A = this chain, B = another copy of it.
Amino acid sequence: MIRQTVKQQNIRIIPLGGLGEVGRNMTLVEYGRDILIIDIGFRMPEENMPGIDFIIPNISYLAGKEKNIVGVVFTHGHYDHIGAVPYLIEKLGNPPLFASGLTKAITIKRQDDFPYQPKLNITVMKNCDRVRLGCFEIEFFKQNHNIADNMGLVIKTPVGNLVHTSDFKFDDNPVNDLPTDFKKLKTIGENGVLLLMADSTGAETEGHSLSEKNIQENLEEIFKKSEGRIIAATFGSLINRIQQLISLAEKYGRKVAVDGYSMRTNVEICKELGYIKAQKGTLIPAKELSHYPDNKALLICTGAQGEGQAVLMRIANKEHKFIELKKGDAVIFSSSVIPGNERTVQVLKDELYRQGVNVYHYKMMDIHAGGHAQREELKQMHEIMKPKFFLPIHGQYSMLFNHAKLAGEMGMPEKNIAVIENGQILNVNKKEISVEKKPVISNYVMVDGLGVGDVGEVVLRDRQVLSKDGMFVIVAIVDRNTGKIRNSPDIISRGFVYLRESKQLLAETRKKVVEIVNKSAGTGGAVNWVYVKDNIRNKIGDFLYAKTERRPMILPVVIEV
């Protein structure tokens, strides 16, 4: 019982995702019984997870504690912060949600794809708005990022103030947004910050992130010199970039079509709420783009990562309904390349060059700026907040580590800095921080089609094996009376060898199967079919490896008739 009392004095911070990875952000703040949730995001799968759509946070820890959830606060509308809502919100007992106007709109729009979901209960929070949830009072404050209506959080707790930066960058010249309000940030810092939780994504990158103003100037160069159509590909969620492109189009007298499902949806929402501004008549449907001269046309589309079914790829592959490339077109890649996509982007670029297009990408000139504070901005944030304790969040372990190191270099004692991972519990009180010995469950929950969490290690490993050397099914029908194989065994193989050209290999394999079965089974008495099947699997496996140096998955089926 004493332990319980001691615990009551601590705030417990429990990251369920977003630490040691980029994406899947979800953090719990717990005091006594009250649990506050910050963000419910997903992430994209790793390369060794074929067929998986997304990975979402594991909320086992919250099972049975649904009634203790005082609310969910969202920082911004990117899917790595809101994307797991449709999968998890019902299991969380559909708690009250709090978000900025744009974040709310995107979150609600997304629910359309999940018709059986409960209606979301989202309260809009504006800059400096406050809400009391259980023992917490949360104040939302504007932070610049590459999507509008991004909010940092001041969480007042019985122990002290926690500050969560959200994803952020400092920008004196943002698009369609106010510059960073350093005065407000300073006030937050002056009110005392017990614990700072700050975005680490840019902690390994020297310097200051580029201002969107620079990007705009460089994009304008391309508009100035392009005499053909301009096709600008970027992320569907990069609302600010889309706005820049629309403004430039208006300045240079081009009509704008937006193509790509996610991008069109976002643009519609943002226009409605005023986060994207376009003059009447600027935006036209993609199919009308060809009604205008080449130098009056701009297409903004998805596909800057070389994604197979995105618009730019369909255009490059001549599979797009309305747009066909021609010499003189300019294609702009206005996005960075997400690690892992380099090869596909290169292949796409090559294809564009082959078609005589002028290609512009971020390695040639600054036509993309990241949305994350780099080292100089992070230093500034630490200086402004002067927190007692620091927890780096959002990023690969190397980013968290280097963010922690930066805090140390700025004079924070090592014992006041916590580099923790998903599932680890950070205890915070006025005097000290400590990590609890026992972490909570935080492993991946994979989404594949309608299945949430049903694909585990076994299924994934099978997929990996199948992809490497294919599979080899052997069906043997055994006569119950004689114990001998009837006819010749059937073989079904895919992804192993080209069967039509491997007749001899198959014939030899069949012969070996007959030998194995007849030897094991033909001696009279009860037959151990498990043993026979193991025998087929091992012996045929070795035989095929000796012949091919490949190891297909071998699946013997023995049926007695």
Contacts and interface: CB of A to CB of B under 8 A. Distances in A.
A550 B464 contact: no
Contacts of A456: 498
A451 B469 CA distance: 12
A77 to B, nearest CB: 25
Contacts of A464: 467
Contacts of A369: none
Judged by DSSP, the binding face of A is: mixed
Given A463-B466, A475-B559, A397 B350 contact: yes
Contact of A454 (B340, B497, B559): B497
A451 B495 contact: no
B549 A449 contact: yes
A396 B354 CA distance: 11
A463 B550 CA distance: 13
Interface residues of A, number: 65
Contacts of A467: 50-51, 463-464, 466-467
A346 B204 CA distance: 12
Contacts of A46: 343
B470 A463 contact: yes
Interface in A12-57: 20, 46-47, 50-51
A359 interface: yes
A181 B25 CA distance: 56
A117 B463 CA distance: 36
A492 interface: yes
Interface in A410-459: 448-451, 454-456, 458-459
Contacts of A449: 469, 548-550
Contacts of A113: none
B561 A477 contact: yes
Interface string A487-508: 0001010111110011000000
A398 interface: yes
A470 B492 CA distance: 15
A497 to B, nearest CB: 6
Contact of A350 (B346, B396, B459): B396
Contact of A550 (B51, B344, B351, B466): B51
Interface string A211-226: 0000000000000000
A553 interface: yes
A398 B450 contact: no
How many copies of the polypeptide does the oligomer hold?
2
A523 B557 CA distance: 28
A172 interface: no
B51 A451 contact: no
B494 A398 contact: no
A88 to B, nearest CB: 18
B469 A494 contact: no
A353 B51 contact: no
A54 to B, nearest CB: 13
Contacts of A20: 350
Given A353-B398, A449-B548, A470-B462, A559 B498 contact: no
17 contacts: A51-B550, A350-B397, A351-B397, A353-B397, A353-B398, A354-B397, A450-B549, A454-B497, A455-B497, A466-B470, A471-B471, A473-B473, A473-B555, A477-B477, A490-B559, A494-B553, A561-B561
Interface of A: 20, 46-47, 50-51, 204, 339-340, 342-344, 346, 349-351, 353-354, 359, 363-364, 396-398, 401, 448-451, 454-456, 458-460, 462-464, 466-471, 473, 475, 477, 486, 490, 492, 494-498, 501-502, 547-550, 553, 555, 557, 559, 561
Q: Across chains A and B, which 5 residue pairs bring their CB atoms closest together, nearest first?
A: A449-B549, A467-B467, A350-B397, A339-B342, A462-B495
Given A467-B467, A561-B561, 12 more contacts: A51-B495, A339-B346, A342-B342, A448-B469, A454-B497, A455-B497, A459-B470, A459-B494, A466-B470, A477-B561, A490-B557, A494-B555
